[in-house]
Structure 1
Amino acid sequence: MGRLTTSDLIYIAYNYPACRSGMTSNVSYIDTRKEYMLYTWGKIVYRWRWLILGIWMMILILAVPLGSLVTEELSSGFGRTNTESQRGLDVLDQDMGLTQSSVTVVYKSETSVYTDRDYKDEVARSLQNLASALPEVAGVMTPYNTGDPYMVSSDGKTIYVVVQLDQSLDDAMDGMGNLRDNLHSDSLSVWTTGGIPIFYDMNIVSEHDLRRAETVAFPLVMIVLIIVFGSLIAAGLPLMMGACSIVVTAALIYGLAQFTDMSLFVLNIATLLGLGVAVDYSLLVVNRFREELAKHDTENAIAITMSTAGKSVIFSAITSVLGLSGMLLFDFMMLRSLGIGGVTVMILSLSVALTLLPASISLLGPRVNSLRIFPTISGMRNFYFWHRLASWVMRHPLRVTVPLMLFLLVLGTPFLRVNLGAPWANILPEDVESRQGFDVLSEDIGHGEAGPIIIVYTSPTSVFEANNINALYEMTQNLSSNPAVGRSESIFSLYPGFTLTEYQERFADNLSQVDPISKQIISTYANSNATYIKVVPSFEIMSDETKELVRSIRAYEYGGDMTRYVTGGTADLMDSIEVIYGSFPTAVMFVLVSIYIALLLLFKSVVLPMKAVIMNGMSIFATYGAVVLIFQDGYFQSLLGIDTLGYVDAVLPVVLFCITFGISMDYEVFLLSRVKEIYDETGDNTSSVAYGLEKTGRIITSAALIMVLVCGSFALADIVIVKMFGIGLGLAILIDATLVRALLVPALMRIMGDFNWWTPFINNKKRPGTS
């Protein structure tokens, strides 16, 4: 075997107690039985195991029926805040009576045109069925009753109809299925689209994605656990804990949804984290229990496990909660609800790992190793793969550190040119009705019809005052000369050939010069205190040209005594992005500072937490770059089964940062907690890292593999935003667990030596009696 180094001797001492008596070193076994309150907690759990199991059984009995109702309480929207676009929508709703609850119905024939008698009769019959079945229908706008030629395709075979509903958005969403059932046609193709149908379909597809992810993830995770433990009993425990976390979290989300809006995507995040993190925590606890069971009876093995692995799990959960809490700082319903759901499932996973799991293994005792499939790996085997890897890395730290850091930086550079966007109908699969209707409307009639820009004006006097008419007229003239504008509609559309003076005379004295029929048409666009201009862009809703059009409209200086709001789909999505990234720096600072403090308290070192924060930042930066390459640039799209979006969803960097920073810290805590145990006893940095990595490397890799598999199951989702999140988080964990935790961490710890453990505040010298 060759000459044994000090690192090898310490390794042998901790793994093979019989060898200690022949060693000259006075290394002593780390006895954790008197450490902290967690040892006592382990004893309490052991003695009251039946009571704890009974309490959890009651919780599960109550949670199952409540959790099954959770989807009915979740919101399908992303959540607007007090933005300009939302204020404009409020004016349209409250001041002008234009309901936000409307559905666009698209009709298409392959043979006839909309002026044919059969086509007209079929549309009328379809809408009559709808009006008879749904009293909530407040009005219907068609090309027949409005005479609007822009509601018809150039070949006359496709039209769209706007159905206005006298309902709140939530009630309209609930009734969407019934509306579709009554909009059938025997001879025409019919699709419903627009905001309400899109979010309704998003809810249905998201729930289907969730069920499929669970179906795929559970057996894959079970296979990994069986390989790790070699025993069906030991492998089944973490999976059971994960299932319990998911069920109870769903019930808690149901309760929280009674008091605050919760996004439908919170279930996806709760399932992903509940399965991944709860299994990871349970994996660590069960693994440590099996180690201690080889040396102690069940009661002491539980107590020691709680004071060691339990401590790691607590601090891991703290860092994860701190990371996820960053999303609570956003005034954006989707992110805030993801933060609430994430924090809830983390706290619950911690509770399971500290109560239900130790109570369960207390009952099993040595039977935790029952139903063995694979034999136990025995012998020193050249000190195992992880010990040898760590020793090799620490012999060549610069050769490992420099290339890897350069690789991570280069991989992250595409993020510097990221194009942030927001999803609309294109996040749904192509076979979903609202996506099909959106595509037909965009292709046959025009992209702008699917997402017009609305410029809303209010006046404390009257919008028909001469100076206000002048300002509105100048705005419409400016729009008509803009190549990004397809057309516009306003109060001036009724008299297209008038001059400004003629408009001012016609609209004077609050329309006293206007005939009743014309006044009725004008009332569609204005009342005395509010009016709007509908702008139909020439490009897609989130194209660069349409976004620039919104910016130019908002930058345009207008006169009169009016207040202006620019709203519509493009403006709303742009405002949402601005809200998100206005709060992002604050969230980043909160996460970094709070996690640094938590790690400082755990490791009693100012250096290790800083290193951990920097390493996590590098792995996240590299992940951001990879996401840009895949979703924005289109690399590996055929392999991953995705369509190139040309942008990265604006929510993704925020969610990835908050979740990845917390979960990656789990692995850092798992590793360094074990390293610190040895360093506190021996004072030997090099051997402590080697031993810590050897003992936790397999568990960390297994935990990371489980998280990657769970994320991979969500990468199979039909909703692009869920797929993007699953791939992004899976990549982040894969990069962190392989390149960062297995290679960069030991290399940097070798370079920094005892400086790793330096602190100016706490006496961190080696303990007496160590080598």
Structure 2
Amino acid sequence: MVTVSEAIRLFMQCCDSCFGLRHDRGSALPAAVVAGNVRPVIDRAVTPVRPAATSGPISGGAVERLGWWAARRRDLVAGVWLLVVAASFGLLPHFTHALAAPAIEIDGSESSRAAELVAKGFPLLGREQLVVAFRSTTLTSTSPDFQDAVGHATAALRRQPGVRAAFTLPPAGSDRAASDNDVLAPLYTLYHDPHNAYVLVALDGDSAERQDRIRAQRDAVTDVARAASDARVQAHLIGLSTVNEDMRRTELDDLRVGELVTIPLAALVLLVGLGTVGAAVLPLLTAGAAIVTTFGLVGAATLALPGLRFDTFTAAVVTVVGLGIGIDYALFVVNRFREELSTGIPPEAAVGRATATSGRAVVLSGIVVSVAAASMVLLPSPLCRELALGATLVTAVVLLAALTLLPAILVRWARWVEWGRLPWFAPSHPDAAERGGWARWARRLMRRPWPYAVAGIAVLLLASLPVSGLRLGVDLGRQGLADTPSGAALAIVDADGAGGVMGMISVVVPRISAGEPAEVATLAADLRQRPDVAAVLAFDNRRDLSMLAVVPRAAPDSAQAADLTRRLRGDLSRPVRQARHEVVVGGFSALLDDVTAMVTGWLPWVIGLVLLLSLGYLVVVFRSLVLPVKAIVMNLLAISATLGLTALVFQHGFGASLAGARRIGSVQVYLPVVVFTMLFGLSMDYEVFLVRRIHEEYQLSGDNSSAVALGLQRTARSITTAAAIMIVIFSGLLANRIPEARQIGFALAVAVAVDATVIRMLLVPTLMRLLGDRNWWLPRPLDRLLGSRGQDA
């Protein structure tokens, strides 16, 4: 019988041997190992397996040492984390105050340059143009009381900071005739309801400043109009800033509702998967501490940098990703801890083994998640940069919690891990994996790998078919804004036929001479004859700039408005360009077109960078060239299938009602890049966890088929439980009324389901069975380059 101190000493010796202190071929294994009391660590110097397999199955390096340290200093570690979480709770108000709507901007884009030219050449038009829609069910817009309310509300709005100018349009049916130099005259024919009146508003400031001021501006015009008319006239301020503000509030509300449903469901899945209340609590504690700490860090950053903003869409994605990987990573470590604890070793030794194996796999997969997420900084978009920063930050905090807080709690909580066992759940046993349904499934795959491999690939290819017709677009989510002030305003403007004013397209022509080019006037006349154009406003500052404000008949996020924008940038403005004049097209529709072009242009570079970095990294991790290539191909198949199924639901409408969605004819433009980067990193979670366990078994036996079967048996329950939790958490975004969040939630939930079932439980084991010892092939020059410490490096 081996004492606790001897077991720990032998364990440490085995770990040291994995760092290069190897046994000679003739040396005997320790007696305790021979007796079977301590599981042997067999490296290639003892068992003649593939040359590339240099690390023993339990070799955690710095990760293991960190876990041991946290276990020994458990009270200190737990106390520090308690202080950090408490401080983070105090910083949460600063985080929520800094939340803003997603910044739909593209650095250096044509639409951005057009906005700068307009703000400089026509100061009265400001950086953004909005509309105040006045509405009364009892008064007509020409009545004195109605006009008085409009006048007082407009005056109050002009006094607000950031309001550059306000232009009152004549009421419908009024006797006022437009003068020849009235540039707004083309708008007078767009609205006809005698109970409505409109005021055009120009705002100054950058997007963050406009977002900060919009609530006060909206409240001012709304409250004054109501007070001046005894609540008979309602005023609605509508524009991009107000839509963003309502989207921010809607997204936050829906995120809270989703969390109230998904977190209890995730806890239930944890309980069923782990079988005990004591074990199920630990991943929730770890993930919760990581999420609160991440948002606390952002709150602290906003104190140091008052102008810092964090958009709600990023907050939603970071929350679900952080919860998902936080619970998953803790789940893997807890399961391995329980497995090791069942062998009879003390809790500290069990924590050491768990961090050396599952903890190391968690770090490896976390690095891939961070690399994939960080690749989004390549895109010239504030939204993508925030997503990259948020996902990378939350992954780093989750890893720190899983490697310090969790080991400390595990040692302190060891006696309670098996508390609250479900009646049907069998106690942990060292040989439990060799029995049950997963063992039978593994043996079936090993007997007939070809049919299962072909069936799995066929399913993925079939699901990928809709990708060939994938159409990217932007849906503002008007359906989700229906119950907001912006939704009410949009309904009024659209019903009156003036909805196109919200999406005016600016055709800006800078010049050197003072006279307006004749080609611009000709273009304006031609555009007024087009059936898809409601009105054209001509501006000229008589110095160096001409502008046509084109009012489309379609909504700014429609395919018709996008087509008109592209034609204005192409053949419609060609005569002006042929006269050697520059044409810069801007406006909201143009911005959406720039976003689409940015994503489609940069996506191949992002994919290439992630694949290249992941390939090199996985070669180091797996000490194989075959396994990384296989992993990348499998991930690409899973991503393709995910995008295909997402397009099938949201673009073509098949089963859209089941997902709480509607057919919109496209998928959101940011979806491919977000899904690729997030899924590529998350899928490596299961890949690393499964293959590392197979590698352990392979080093012990040298038998590839046996190693694949045992690795699958021992990890299948953890992977399926982790995947079920991810699916539950991502599905919470389906309740969100904002299209981006809903589509990304659907895509990530489908992706995890496909990855954890078809890929990890079917294709990976069957392909590894078919490849045999070739799984571990590594060219000798590369093997020498990596050296004996390649994985630790």
Please classify the TM superposition score into its range, dividing by the shorter chain length: 0.7 to 0.9
TM-fit CA distance, 1:423: 3.1
Secondary structure of 1:629's counterpart equals: helix
Shift of 1:614: 0.8
2:25 aligns to what? none
Given that residues 477 and 739 in structure 2 are in contact (C-alpha distance below 8 angstroms), is that contact kept between their aligned partners in structure 1?
A: no
Instruction: Give matches, 1:292-311, under 5 Å.
Output: 292-295=340-343, 296-311=345-360
Distance 1:584 1:220 in 2: 35
**8 Å CA contact 1:238, 1:279 repeated in 2:** yes
Shift of residue 179, structure 1, vs aligned partner: 2.7
Which stretch of the first structure deviates more once superposed, 47-56 or 541-550?
541-550
8 Å Cα contact 1:138/1:165 also seen in 2: yes
Runs of 4+ in 1 over 6 A off after TM superposition: 16-20
The counterpart of 2:510, out of the listed 458, 462, 487, is 458
1:368 paired with 2:394, answer: no
Bigger shift: 156-165 or 662-671?
Answer: 156-165
Which deviations, in whole Å up to 9, do the C-alpha atoms of 1:678-736 show, x marking residues without a partner? Answer: 01121111111111111110000000111100001121112121111111111110111
2:187 is the counterpart of 1:150: yes
Stretch of structure 1 that moved more, 556-565 or 598-607 = 556-565
Comparing 251-260 and 206-215, the one that deviates more: 251-260
For the pair 1:546 / 2:597, whether they are aligned, the reply is: no
User: Counterparts of 1:656 and 1:165 in 2: how far apart (Å)?
Assistant: 35
Deviation at residue 61 of structure 1 after TM alignment: 2.5
SS of 2:232's equivalent in the other structure is: coil
**Alignment TM-score, normalising by the size of structure 1:** 0.86
1:285 is the counterpart of 2:323? no
Report how far residue 537 of structure 1 moved. Answer: 1.7
Counterpart AA for 2:535: R
Which residues in structure 2 correspond to 1:337-352 (within 5 Å)? 337-352=386-401
2:148 corresponding residue in structure 1: 121
Identity %: 30
> In structure 2, what is the equivalent of residue 680 of structure 1?
699
Aligned to 1:92: 118
Matched, 1:622 2:638: no
How far apart are the structure 2 equivalents of 1:117 and 1:386? 79
Question: CA offsets, 1:86-111, max 9 Å, x none?
Answer: 10100111232121244322223445
In structure 2, distance between residues paired with 1:261 and 1:460:
39
C-alpha contact 2:509 2:582 (8 A) present in aligned 1: yes
Q: CA distance change for structure 1 residues 207 and 694 in 2, over 3 Å: closer, same or farther?
A: same
Which shows bigger deviation, 546-555 or 317-326?
Answer: 546-555
Question: Which residue identity does 2:187 align to in structure 1?
Answer: Y
1:211 aligns with 2:226: no
Aligned equivalent of 2:130: 103
- 1:749 corresponds, among 757, 768, 772, to 768
Determine if contact 2:624/2:776 at 8 Å carries over to the other structure: yes
Amino acid at match of 2:518: N
How far did 1:168 drift? 4.5
Question: Residue deviations 1:151-196, cap 9 Å, x none?
Answer: 5523433333222345544333223333333314322343221111
Report the Cα offset of residue 267 of structure 1: 1.1
8 A Cα contact 2:111 2:591, kept in partner: yes
Aligned residues: 708
| Structure 1 pair 414–31 and aligned structure 2 pair: CA distance change class (3 A) | closer
From 524, 544, 559, the counterpart of 1:476: 524
> Deviations along 1:5-57, whole A, 9 cap, x unmatched?
xxxxxxxxx9x97999xxxxx999x9866663444333322222222122212
CA distance 1:150–1:461, shift in 2 (3 Å) = closer
Aligned partner of 1:268 in structure 2 is 316
Distance in 2 of aligned mates of 1:306 and 1:18: 20
The 1-side partners of 2:71 and 2:660 are apart by 49
The residue aligned with 1:64 is 89
Aligned to 1:82: 108
Q: Pick one of 459, 462, 469 that aligns with 1:407.
A: 459
Could you report, residue by residue, the CA deviation over 1:469-497 in whole angstroms, capped at 9, with x for unpaired residues? 22212222332343332221215xxxxxx
The Cα shift of 1:260 comes to 5.8
Partner residue, 2:28: none
2:299 aligned to 254, 260, 280, which one? Answer: 254
Match for residue 237 of structure 1? 282
2:379 matched to 1:330? yes
- The aligned counterpart of 1:321 is 370
Q: 1:754 to 1:369 in 2, by over 3 A?
A: same
Residue pair 1:425, 1:438 contacting (<8 A) in 2 also: no
Question: Matches of 2:625 and 2:57 in 1, distance apart?
Answer: 24
The answer (yes or no) to whether the contact 2:56–2:696 under 8 Å persists in 1 is no
SS class of match (1:351):
helix
> Equivalent residue for 2:236?
191
Distance 1:274 1:389, change over 3 A: same
Hey, what's the Cα distance between the residues in 1 that align with 2:421 and 2:169?
72
One-letter identity of the residue aligned with 1:158: N
Structure-2 separation of matches of 1:65 and 1:706 = 29
For residue 176 of structure 1, the aligned residue among 199, 210, 214 is 214
User: Is this contact kept in 1: 2:509–2:547, CA < 8 A?
Assistant: yes
Find the residue that maps to 1:154 and give its secondary structure: coil
- The range that moved more, 288-297 or 35-44, is 35-44
1:739 aligns with 2:776: no
- 1:501 match: none
2-structure distance, mates of 1:579, 1:763: 40
Question: Against the structure 1 CA distance between its residues 530 and 420, is the aligned structure 2 distance closer, same or farther, given a 3 Å change threshold?
Answer: same
2:533 maps to a residue whose letter is V
Letter in 2 for 1:53: A
- Provide the rounded CA distance (Å) in 2 between the counterparts of 1:455 and 1:603: 55
Check conservation: 1:32, 1:304, Cα contact below 8 A.
Answer: no
Q: Which residue is 1:602 aligned to?
A: 621
Equivalent of 2:720, from 701, 704, 708? 701
CA distance 1:37–1:126, shift in 2 (3 Å): closer
Q: Does 1:532 align with 2:547?
A: yes
Aligned equivalents of 2:168 and 2:423: distance in 1?
A: 70
Q: Whole-Å Cα distance in 2 between the matches of residues 399 and 196 of structure 1?
A: 56
Contact 1:459–1:561 at 8 Å: present in 2 too?
no
**Partner residue, 1:43:** 68
Determine helix, strand or coil for the equivalent of 2:745. Answer: helix
Cα pair distance change 1:425/1:301, threshold 3 Å: closer
Contact 1:105/1:190 (8 A) holds in 2: yes
Structure 1: distance between partners of 2:381 and 2:748: 21
The question of whether the paired residues in 1 share the 8 Å contact of 2:105 and 2:591 is answered with: no
SS at match of 2:187: helix
Equivalent residues of 1:79, 1:332 under 8 A apart: yes
Residues of 2 paired with 1:475 and 1:148: CA distance? 18
Measured on the aligned residues, the alpha-carbon RMSD in Å equals: 2.8
Q: Secondary structure at the match of 2:370?
A: helix
Q: Hey, what's the Cα distance between the residues in 2 that align with 1:654 and 1:33?
A: 36
Q: Which amino acid aligns with 2:354?
A: T
Correspondence list, 1:480-499, <5 A? 480-491=528-539
Structure 2 counterpart of 1:242, one-letter code: A
In structure 1, the gaps of 5 or more residues are: 1-13, 21-25, 492-524
